[in-house]
A and B are shown apart, each in its own frame.
Chain A
């Protein structure tokens, strides 16, 4: 299961999550969504620490974050 889940129907491609990710592991995807935007996508999920800064910064609440339980 993925740590970083985006609802591409909500993403408007504003790029705020990409600019704020402390590990710089977010980028625009190559494909277009129904809205006609390149949605945000995660490039290296293994590095993700589930800090949720991207999700908290998202103006459209498009991102859900999961964390591995120890």
Chain B
């Protein structure tokens, strides 16, 4: 018998604390697989956010830091500038990156820092109990929008990938999801491209992963992926918004 699937080396043995079905675990594993494949485990430094994935430092068997809320790209900038040989990535949710950390992400992207940002967008604040996020869909019920999000008072969902793609400096901006096995493999390819570009010193790469939050959406995990496909993907369209070096074609 030959082993065809096993836990990647860059993932620690610690069980995830995430809710049953949460996409964080899948994305963690894909990042760990990419780190293994690119053979960068010894020089990778991650930056954990505030949010459900705040404990990401326990789950990756690489060096890690944990930034104040939303400031992960700023901390990553500092790490990369003093240790330019290291591979630095941040792992942030939508409450972290698209709300309190909007300034940090926009300016890190605009400076073209040679870091990789993994953005998990599930349209809700997870850890704090399901409040409305900037990415919450119109009409979506949350703890702080019990009648559904109303555009006249709360605005429309922010599309971070499109916004970042308008800047000159980023080299790779893409939106992917893990709602089925085919898209899951595309997500892995996108993460591989992003880390490879950084390894080659090309510049800022941004991977948005449209994800689920079964607990705060009040749905079963499999139903959540269906809901994501029907409701989130029309608003957050999948695709690559910027690919200056043409890595997806090569």
Contact = CB atoms under 8 A, between A and B. Distances in A.
A2 B20 CA distance: 25
A14 B20 contact: yes
A66 B2 CA distance: 5
Q: For this complex, into which size category does the number of interface residues on chain B fall?
A: 20 to 34
Interface in B5-32: 5-7, 11, 15-16, 18-26, 29
A10 B15 contact: yes
Q: For this complex, into which size category does the number of interface residues on chain A fall?
A: 20 to 34
Given A69-B1, A69-B2, A13 B222 contact: no
A16 B222 contact: yes
B21 A66 contact: no
A56 interface: yes
Interface of B: 1-7, 11, 15-16, 18-26, 29, 180-181, 184-185, 214, 220-222, 225
14 contacts: A10-B15, A12-B20, A15-B221, A15-B222, A56-B5, A56-B26, A56-B185, A57-B26, A59-B18, A59-B20, A60-B15, A64-B3, A65-B5, A69-B2
State the 3 A-B residue pairs at the shortest beta-carbon distance, nearest first. Answer: A59-B25, A14-B21, A14-B20
